[in-house]
Amino acid sequence: MSDAQLSLGFGKQALPQYGEYVAPSPIPLTIPKDSCASGLKIYEGATFPTPRELTTEEVDALIEDYKAAAQRLKACGFDGIELNGCHGYLLWELMSPAHNQRTDKYGGSEEARLNVPLTLLKAVREIGGEDFIVGYRCSSDEGCEGGLTLDDMRRIVPILVDHGADYISLSRGFAGNLKIQYPSAEGTMVEVHSKIKEVSKVPVLSPNISNPATGEKALAEGKVDMIGLSRSLIADPEWPNKVKTGNAHIIIRCMHCNTCLVTLFSEFKIRCAANPNAGWERFDPQYWPPPRIPIPPVKWK
């Protein structure tokens, strides 16, 4: 089974080399002091350029572009699409009162701020059909003044589910609060995410797991339905296989040092303090595919 994650755009968190900064409202991103996780302190105190506010017509066009991208993914054979409305990217910005202060049909009331997410959910469901998996990724809480809180998301998640989400993939925070987005210890999101599970009719995923025992405990206690690995798979791509074969004790665990994020944000090859092969797999013979056997030419009589 293969799902694709589809994003509406970076919003005001874009890097300058990607072009003009655009967002729902002209509110610059600021990364406050003491808001960054381990390894990311170099970004504290930064203020990004003030973004240009997207026009109503531009948001309309982005919705159509998103639909077209979903159609291409369906045509390519993907089994599902996860809408990335998380971590302060454009889809989250449109939903959050801290970033969306528009007065058109896409801003103002909570109903208007949910216009784009719900439109996209409905569109992806129609494009994919009933057997297509449609997920929605979002933060359980934003962690900034005027942003979406856990109580807000406990109200919003059931609305997302009613409009077509088959599962909810959770995280926390955004670029203005990297400390809760990338915590220095594993499993710290589970308790918060259990509050979302209480109101969700579909499976809920919680990330930030490196120890299989931590994930198993969260699942056994019914606090979440699935666990996300992500950085754990950078540290050890064989994580699931080692658990399956009873070799969890030899897993190379993610240290939550955020080396991978620093290199990613700096646009270098992704690196990992626990896995020196990360980002260099094409140079390591163990990852090479088997040699191709040439097909003999066909001789026509």
* Rounded Cα gap, residues 127 and 92, in angstroms: 22
Residue 29 has pLDDT above 70, yes or no: yes
- Report, as residue numbers or ranges, the catalytic residues: 89
Report the percent of the chain where pLDDT is more than 90.
Answer: 74
Tokens of 261: 């994020």
pLDDT category of residue 293 using cuts at 50, 70 and 90? confident
pLDDT in tens, 199-241: 999 999 999 999 999 999 999 999 999 999 999 999 999 999 9
In angstroms, rounded to a whole number, what is the distance separating the alpha carbons of residues 239 and 235? 9
Alpha helix positions (H), the chain: 56-75, 90-95, 110-113, 115-128, 150-162, 178-181, 190-197, 212-220, 231-235, 239-244, 259-265
Q: What is the pTM of this model?
A: 0.91
**Does the domain made of 3-228 have the CATH classification 3.20.20.70?**
yes
